[in-house]
Amino acid sequence: MSLKNIRITGFKVTDIRFPTSLDGIGSDAMHQGTNGSHPFLELYTNDDKVIGEGIAFSNGRGSELVCAALEIFAERVVGKSLHSLTENMGNTWRYMVSDSQYRWIGPEKGVTHLAVAGVINAIWDLWGKVTDRPVWKIVADMTPEELVRCIDFRYITDVITPEEAIEMLKKTQVGKEKRIQEAFDNVAVPAYTTSPGWLAFSGDRMKEVLRETIAQGFTVFKFKVGSDLKSDKERLQAVRDIIGYDEKYQIMIDANQIWSVPEAIEWMKELVQFKPIFIEEPTSPDDVLGHATIRKALKPYGVGVATGEMAANRVIFKQLLQADAIDVCQIDAVRLGGVNECLAVMLMALKFNVPCVPHNGAMGLTELTSHLSNIDYICVSGKKSMLEAAESYRENLRHPSVIKNAHYVTPLAPGYSTGYVPGAIEKYVYPNGTFWTSEIGEKIKRAPKGGEGLLSDD
Ligand SMILES: [Mg+2]
């Protein structure tokens, strides 16, 4: 099996949704009734044992649009050899975002870009399977020049050029072998957890899960805030009652875009007493200068600003960095256009000395980001960061991420850790899987869509 012999012959898109709304996992100030969903792509090849698997990510009904877009964008790689797709991946990436008619409804953002991510990640998965390596190791095996060739530098050369990126990566080569060994020893990627922090959790449930995660060795925790100031204060007080203000434990908080800029500053002034390291997504993901204003206002209190999980592309990240708007750069493995665009953002973050802490918060993502965090540590920044962990429905995944001693266990299976155990698709395929046709599944289908109560009924 070689890259030249493998050719993509067809594909299948499946709408898989997990009913995470049942237990409030994924709930935040902006998203209630969240059902973590995987528009799932299988790229078939001329070898029927070799299938490239990729996911886009969505919330419930959002999958309908993303699946339609995957059908369109996956078609672009049918007939291509894996060699032609991987020999210059920056070009492949440019090709994927160059459909001039669909580009109109992006460009490089929204539904079309989510689909591009699904296809690009499936190609990486295929590359890993054919060369018998996990995706992080494919990148770790690259020279700086080869890594840089994976990136489309259009729109970012005012901040970083390919030549400069190569020079930066050459510096990171120092100590690379040692860091690869740390990856094999499962100590390369420290984990933090959001498990106690979902907004829908009652005080007792929150405390119970917090104690459980402390017992598992976690020392950094994230909590959702932003729907009610009084209850935010009560929850964070309860958290501090348990963990104290000892340096040993740290907390972060996440508002999921609920506030306008002045509101974010005022609300946060009430919460700084609980000493969060940062506030995540305080306002609209597109508001680069708004984030900068919030960051400046919160700096005297020692609270940073994090964002990125809904930053559409490398251009938004470029501006967030240029505007000194963020302390933490939260790339998303399936919001950005797959591994390649994540590499571009990692390099820019390194240039601005801002740590990359990939966004997770849901099953299927932690599996991908554990590759990305290893890549950042081993090849790009050379600095240890941390990675969010959150449990749910993981038993359905073929390569579920594993945490040991509050560190990610490095994925070793060939590919990009995507795919499901037998039976999972039959159960969770939407709308006709056995779960979704059960009584409870039908009830979730009838749940409020959001915005109810905003308009009168007459
Ligand atoms: Mg978040």
* Model confidence pLDDT, tens digit, residues 165-200: 999 999 999 999 999 999 999 999 999 998 888 887
Q: Tell me the C-alpha to C-alpha distance, in Å, between residue 88 and each of 134, 186, 330.
A: 19, 31, 26
In the set 359, 371, 399, 407, the catalytic residue is: 359
Distance (angstroms) between ligand 1 centre and the Cα of 226 equals 12
Between CA 305 and CA 335 the distance in angstroms is 20
Give residue 26's pLDDT band: very low, low, confident or very high (50, 70, 90): low
* Model confidence pLDDT, tens digit, residues 384-428: 999 998 777 889 999 999 999 999 999 999 999 999 999 999 999
Between CA 146 and CA 170 the distance in angstroms is 12
Average pLDDT over residues 116-133: 98
* Model confidence pLDDT, tens digit, residues 56-98: 999 999 999 999 999 999 999 999 999 999 999 999 999 999 9
Q: What is the pLDDT of residue 25?
A: 67
Q: Which of 446, 403, 371 is nearest to 124 (CA)?
A: 371
Give residue 133's pLDDT band: very low, low, confident or very high (50, 70, 90): very high
Task: Report strand pairing: 250-254 vs 276-280.
Answer: parallel
Does residue 359 carry a catalytic annotation?
Answer: yes
Give residue 221's pLDDT band: very low, low, confident or very high (50, 70, 90): very high
Determine the 3-state secondary structure of 223 from DSSP. strand
Average pLDDT over residues 206-215: 92
DSSP H helix total and E strand total for the chain: 17, 13
Q: Which residues contact 199 (CB under 8 A, 6 or more apart)?
A: 24, 27, 28, 29, 32, 224, 225, 226, 227
> Element (H or E) spanning 374, and its range?
helix 365-375
Q: pTM of the prediction? A: 0.96
In order of start, what are the domains of the chain with their CATH numbers?
Answer: 7-132+422-446 (3.30.390.10), 166-409 (3.20.20.120)
Distance (angstroms) between ligand 1 centre and the Cα of 301 equals 21
Between CA 265 and CA 261 the distance in angstroms is 7
Q: Which of 163, 130, 94 is nearest to 2 (CA)?
A: 130
Beta bridge partners of 408: 403
Distance (angstroms) between ligand 1 centre and the Cα of 126 equals 29
In the set 109, 224, 399, 407, the catalytic residue is: 224
Distance (angstroms) between ligand 1 centre and the Cα of 52 equals 29
Distance (angstroms) between ligand 1 centre and the Cα of 135 equals 25
Distance (angstroms) between ligand 1 centre and the Cα of 116 equals 22
End-to-end CA distance of the chain: give it in Å, rounded. Answer: 65
Q: What percentage of residues in the chain have a pLDDT greater than 90?
A: 87
Minimum mean pLDDT among 13-17, 204-208, 269-273, 283-287: which range? 204-208
CB 408, CB 399: distance < 8 Å: no
Q: Which of 126, 107, 84, 164 is nearest to 344 (CA)?
A: 164
Between CA 18 and CA 55 the distance in angstroms is 14
Distance (angstroms) between ligand 1 centre and the Cα of 76 equals 32
Give residue 283's pLDDT band: very low, low, confident or very high (50, 70, 90): very high
CB 387, CB 357: distance < 8 Å: yes
User: Please, where are the H alpha helices in 376-456?
Assistant: 424-428, 439-445
Distance (angstroms) between ligand 1 centre and the Cα of 218 equals 18
Would you tell me how many other CB atoms lie within 10 Å of the CB of residue 143? 12
- Which amino acid, one-letter code, is at 258? I
Determine the 3-state secondary structure of 381 from DSSP. coil
Average pLDDT, the chain: 95
Any idea what DSSP says for residue 106?
-
Torsion of CA 78, 96, 116, 3, to 10 degrees: 50
Distance (angstroms) between ligand 1 centre and the Cα of 9 equals 37
Between CA 371 and CA 204 the distance in angstroms is 34
Q: What is the pLDDT of residue 305?
A: 98
Distance (angstroms) between ligand 1 centre and the Cα of 258 equals 11
Q: What percentage of residues in the chain have a pLDDT greater than 70?
A: 99
Distance (angstroms) between ligand 1 centre and the Cα of 252 equals 10
Beta bridge partners of 224: 254
